[in-house]
Amino acid sequence: MSREQLLEWIPAGHPDEALARQVDFERLPAHIAVIMDGNGRWAAKRHLPRVEGHRAGIDAVRDTVETAARLGLGVLTLYAFSVENWKRPASEVGVLMRLLKRYLRSELNTLLANDIRFQVIGRIEELSPDIQDELGAARERTADNKGMLFNIALNYGGRAEIVDAAKRAIASGIRPEQLDEERFAGFLYTAGQPDPDLLIRTSGELRVSNYLLWQIAYAEIYVTETLWPDFRRQHLLEGVLAYQKRERRYGGITPAPAVIGAQ
């Protein structure tokens, strides 16, 4: 999409309008990955049960997905449930799964209206059949959309993904001498997608938490103190603007500053 599509969605005079006008649409990250963190702390601050933080987090998901699509991002990946999250109380896991199901049902029309293609990355086959059905239905209904790809990482682990990719590579019959980084990436859950240029983590924690370990090799990391349920369009735009101020080196050297008066 474009600046116009973003601006038409922001009420005139709203503080986000100034942020949207600063975005350089020629230098957008192709892929933004987000670690949605701080739901429990958001709830604790309000003396609410943890699950209320997850419930409130759905509004942040909705706002982030629409902002990302209107910006014109190629890919957005949200970390909804890690392979480690099964260690949480069964009641909390149950609420997270129900929220996901409800989100997919209630947001399908918004995904379609915004031309968003939905996909899941993770060990989907270990999820309950009803969740798998819901995910499959959302994937199929949005499969022909041509806009942003929206990945939800579910029962996802970066190391598990690399192990799964290695198994797929072996099963494919590829010979060791044929395997290189590009071919190996083709066995990951994100095969064919650009790597994240920007990794956003909310709630101030400085960890990557087993998220997209292969793919974030050169990602810029942006950490905000904002707790996930409070994350909105403003925060995503701030992350993109911070990214656009960074100089990316990919292991190279920083270009010397231009010397004034030099030929």
Chain residues that interact with ligand FPP, rule: CB under 6 A: 36-41, 54, 57-58, 61, 78, 80, 85, 96, 99-100, 103, 152, 228
Question: What number of other Cβ atoms are within 10 A of residue 225's Cβ?
Answer: 10
CA distance 214 to 179: 15
CA distance 250 to 221: 14
Which residue out of 39, 59, 63, 85 is catalytically annotated?
85
Say whether 37 is catalytic. Answer: yes
User: At closest approach, how far in Å is the CB of 103 from ligand FPP?
Assistant: 4
Separation in Å, CA 146 to CA 72, 150, 162: 11, 11, 28
- Give the tokens for residue 225: 């103190």
Residue type, 235: H
User: At closest approach, how far in Å is the CB of 9 from ligand FPP?
Assistant: 20
Closer to ligand FPP at the Cβ: 7 or 58? 58
Separation in Å, CA 66 to CA 43, 55, 244: 24, 18, 20
Closer to ligand FPP at the Cβ: 89 or 194? 89
Q: Which helix (H) or strand (E) holds 153?
A: strand 149-156
Closer to ligand FPP at the Cβ: 27 or 105? 105
- Give the tokens for residue 247: 């100089």
- Give the tokens for residue 31: 């892929």
Tell me how long the chain is. Answer: 263
Which residue out of 16, 24, 37, 115 is catalytically annotated?
37
CA distance 150 to 155: 16
User: At closest approach, how far in Å is the CB of 1 from ligand FPP?
Assistant: 21
Closer to ligand FPP at the Cβ: 40 or 157? 40
CA distance 157 to 151: 14
User: At closest approach, how far in Å is the CB of 118 from ligand FPP?
Assistant: 10
Q: Smallest Cα–Cα separation from 138: which of 112, 166, 169?
A: 112
Residue nearest to ligand FPP (CB): 40
Closer to ligand FPP at the Cβ: 37 or 134? 37
Say whether 59 is catalytic. Answer: no
User: At closest approach, how far in Å is the CB of 68 from ligand FPP?
Assistant: 13
Catalytically annotated residues = 37, 85
